Amino acid sequence: MEYIYSAMLLHKAGQKVDEAHVKKVLEAAGIKVDEARIKALVSALEGVNI
């Protein structure tokens, strides 16, 4: 869920939801990131109106 939450937080803040930004948010929260999950999330959200 933390991956989805990071995307929602970025969107709410008006930031681009991309791999680099999602990774920064997760790392700032102290979460060990999984690059494959980040790529999958960003890919799944491409073209989606949050």
Model pLDDT for residues 12-50, shown as the tens digit of each residue: 999 999 999 999 999 999 999 999 999 999 999 999 888
Q: Is residue 27 part of a domain?
A: yes
Beta-carbon count within 10 A of 33 CB: 18
Q: Is residue 21 part of a domain?
A: yes
Specify the CATH number for the domain of residue 10.
Answer: 1.10.10.1410
Q: Is residue 50 part of a domain?
A: no
How far, in Å, CA of 20 to CA of 33, rounded? 11
Q: What's the total number of domains in the chain?
A: 1
Q: Give the per-residue pLDDT at 49.
A: 86
Q: Give the per-residue pLDDT at 50.
A: 81
Q: Is residue 28 part of a domain?
A: yes
Token pair of 4 as six digits: 């989805």
Question: Per-residue confidence at 1, pLDDT binned at 50, 70, 90?
Answer: very high
What residue numbers bound the domain in which 25 lies?
A: 2-45
